[in-house]
Structure 1
Amino acid sequence: MRRRVVVTGCGVVTPLGCEVAEFWDKLCAGKSGIGPIERFDCSEYKVTFGGEVRHFKPEDHMPLDIREQRRMDRFVLFGMVASHKAITQAGIDLSQGDPYRHGVLIGSGIGGLNEIEDQHDALYNKGPSRVSPFMIPKLMVNAASGNISVNWGLKGPNSAVATACASATNAIGDAYRLIQYGEADVMVTGGSEAAMTPMGLSGFARMNALSKRNDEPERASRPFDTDRNGFVLSEGAGVVILEELEHAKARGANILGELVGYGMSADGTHMTAPDPEGRGASYAMRRALDDAGVKPEFIDYINAHGTSTPLGDKAETAAIKTVFGEHSKKLTVSSTKSQLGHMLGASGGVEFVICTLALQEQVAPPTINLENPDPACDLDYIPNEARQIKMSHILTNSFGFGGHNACLVVKTFEG
């Protein structure tokens, strides 16, 4: 018999703030976290804006001295802070109990790109003797999971997922399975990404994947809108604490929701373009629903992948219609990437936090900048203003380069 898995803590690092309450208030108010890039000079780039986590200092959020920080890439620091906030909200003392029953699983699509660029410059400008001895442990995709494990003494399952923009959702789903089948009682899980670098920005821009609306950054991410022309690169982290139900009850935890379904698939058609009919995406959604043991009509709200790309939004809409049929006309759907931009491997972690908060508050955040709906995207996308909705089950979608598809179902907790 599979064990039940609940959510007991949430933590975020985002362009809209690093405190969950502040983040949620801004999200529901329709605020945008997108603006001109400040961390480096991009005046000669095709794209000059994105979703930066501005003025980020880890020591403002958790005990972490400067020496420790220098041994961690920016994406690791994001993951550390989001984990600290999730652990704090969960009210769990991870030093108590069997450390081999406590695990960590953090996804990242790219890993330590900041470190790669810094050490490349050191190598070619100063020579091989000036390359940092900390380069490899800083840039590894599993560096976030590893550092979180070390910092909190987590000795159970310790892994990392790299499935592009589906990374965090796969990480949460895999952590859910580990608890379900008895490999762990507590998992610190989600995703972290910091690809807002000269190489990251120029690489995505050269692919023509990014919006070039440099004169109106806040209006650049516009999922499902006729005038969408690419996604907005962003950075951040989203981490949750998953626990086996009886473990959470025994310590008197405040249960925020229950994770009940996980589905995944591959498009198997192209490295960067989605299946035009959304066949892989629809299969992953169906698998998540089947795993949850719920019919399509049980879903009240979908947090869409919704990146604001011409092909992606259209394919996701088609996939939703395929899975939900007539019920798709009653569904509410929104893309919070309209406000946050696309955090790549971290996006699913932040969006899972959003779904958990939506259940708690019974409010679905909006899709901002939706002014001229694309006729091919004809669902109820909650345009521009948050909406009070009675919700018991939420589906969240994440789709990544390489054709990776991952979906989760979270529901209101009932005894």
Structure 2
Amino acid sequence: MSHRKAVVTGIGVVAPGGIGTKAFWNLLTEGRTATRAITHFDASGYRSRIAAECDFDAAAAGLTAAETDRMDRCAQFAVVAAREALADSGTAADDVPAHRIGVSVGSAVGSTVTLEREYVRVSDGGSRWVVDASDPYPHLYRALVPGALGAEVAWTAGAQGPVRVVSTGCTSGLDAVAQGAQFIEDGQADLVVAGATDAPVSPITVACFDAIKATSPNNADPEHASRPFDRDRDGFVLGEGAAVLILEEAGAARRRGARVYCEVAGYAQRGNAFHMTGLRPDGAELAEAVRVALDRARLPAAAVDYVNAHGSGTRQNDRHETAAFKTALGEHAYRVPVSSIKSMVGHSLGAIGALELAACALAIETDTVPPTANLRTPDPELGLDYVPLWAREHRTDTVLSVGSGFGGFQTAMVLTAPRPGVRDA
């Protein structure tokens, strides 16, 4: 069995409410929400007309005109987050051979913005079945192929090692980081740029969720529409963004005196083989993922100091994961604080898992549990310690983060405080 472990030495974030890790963490710890009426397009004809949008200026974020032209919005997010994460890690990549640097990027819906925009253009607003191919967008192929996201991040990092793009719906971010950690554990790479990105605030995506009534119709009060675990919740609020973590082999990070946020201690993925959008109320498959992740981390359930929940704001999800926590953690489930940052930054599909892991790493570093904004009337059916409204100071050495994705995907990851000798030298 390999004794190699992955640690997090850099974080980069593009999120609603502010660009950069500092702005992201300030938003969360202050319990502010970034949900608002959609501004990216005219959403007046939709059931749900709210989202958590990023106030993102590509030029201000350091992208050139050529980069902006060739990259979809989600790829732009990924590259900007990767640059911040690499800078935050200090000299992490300086002495690592290019063939020992890997990339693992997750995304649920990829380059939706570009694909939809270009289809509308060449079909004259959808009025023509035979589209006009006389004036093609030169980078359309990049938008079509999900692998382009991995390529852009690899070019940013100068990575010539293994590159993967993971698309498992709303668990894509967690799964991409798990894949990156696996690269390090297996000896395939010594440094991995891992994370996820999505920019789904577009007509087609909003229409898809309208069709299944998964998103909140609380258009009159968008700031308070995302209400995980609240008795009056009525669906999730769509979001967008990206987060990238720099993963290093723990021994190498120790030797260079790196600042280490946390260790990726364990992870597991399961499926429910049940329904495309439905969840089993007993949460058995998520409970099994939690159990296996803790086993891999060699930790008992009682070691978990904080649970970063999927907490989408739908009744079936809240019931599903609450049941899973009670099964997997036993009596400890009633003592451990739980929260959902989707209450503040919305649900950015594949990207949210990576954003949540960034929040978990910062929670470990600062011993602070971010709150669940808008949680004013807890659902009495649930019965756990869902941290409401304000951040809580709390010793946070071990964090469990979970995700659920359409298709029945379930992922659990355990992050732990760095062991002595791995934290800041």
RMSD: 1.2
1:101 aligns with 2:106: no
Aligned partner of 1:10 in structure 2 is 11
Alignment of 1:206-245 (within 5 A): 206-245=211-250
Distance 2:204 2:114 in 1: 11
Distance 1:40 1:51 in 2: 13
State the 1:130 CA deviation: 2.0
**TM-score, normalised by the number of residues in structure 2:** 0.95
Aligned partner of 2:353 in structure 1 is 348
Conservation of the 8 A alpha-carbon contact between 2:177 and 2:354: yes
Aligned partner of 1:292 in structure 2 is 297
Distance 1:377 1:315 in 2: 10
State the 1:95 CA deviation: 5.4
Aligned partner of 2:57 in structure 1 is 57
Aligned partner of 1:33 in structure 2 is 34
SS at match of 1:172: helix
Aligned partner of 1:413 in structure 2 is 418
Alignment of 1:14-413 (within 5 A): 14-54=15-55, 56-62=56-62, 64-92=63-91, 94=93, 96-125=95-124, 127-413=132-418
Higher mean C-alpha displacement, 152-161 vs 141-150: 141-150
Conservation of the 8 A alpha-carbon contact between 1:399 and 1:406: yes
Conservation of the 8 A alpha-carbon contact between 1:122 and 1:130: no
State the 1:93 CA deviation: 5.6
- Residue 254 of structure 2 aligns to which amino acid in structure 1? K
Unaligned runs of 5+ in 1: none
Distance 1:231 1:299 in 2: 26
State the 1:53 CA deviation: 0.4
Distance 1:97 1:290 in 2: 31
- Residue 22 of structure 1 aligns to which amino acid in structure 2? A
Distance 1:139 1:191 in 2: 17
Distance 1:93 1:298 in 2: 30
Report the number of matched residues. 413
Distance 1:119 1:25 in 2: 37
Distance 1:171 1:150 in 2: 18
State the 1:115 CA deviation: 1.2
SS at match of 1:290: helix
Distance 1:57 1:369 in 2: 29
- Residue 184 of structure 2 aligns to which amino acid in structure 1? I
SS at match of 1:263: strand
Conservation of the 8 A alpha-carbon contact between 1:73 and 1:139: no
Unaligned runs of 5+ in 2: 125-130
Conservation of the 8 A alpha-carbon contact between 1:275 and 1:315: yes
Distance 1:168 1:313 in 2: 20
SS at match of 1:130: coil
Distance 1:244 1:151 in 2: 20
Conservation of the 8 A alpha-carbon contact between 1:278 and 1:315: yes
Conservation of the 8 A alpha-carbon contact between 1:109 and 1:345: yes
Conservation of the 8 A alpha-carbon contact between 1:262 and 1:291: yes
Conservation of the 8 A alpha-carbon contact between 1:235 and 1:342: yes
State the 1:337 CA deviation: 0.5
State the 1:96 CA deviation: 4.1
Distance 2:167 2:212 in 1: 20
Higher mean C-alpha displacement, 15-24 vs 137-146: 137-146
Residues 186-229 of structure 1 show CA distances to partners (whole Å, capped at 9, x for unaligned) of 00001000010011111111210100000000111100111111
Distance 2:86 2:279 in 1: 36
SS at match of 1:61: coil
State the 1:133 CA deviation: 2.9
SS at match of 2:385: coil
- Residue 4 of structure 1 aligns to which amino acid in structure 2? K
State the 1:131 CA deviation: 2.6
Q: Residues 18 and 139 from structure 1, CA distance in 2 versus in 1: closer, same or farther, beyond 3 angstroms?
A: farther
- Residue 345 of structure 1 aligns to which amino acid in structure 2? G
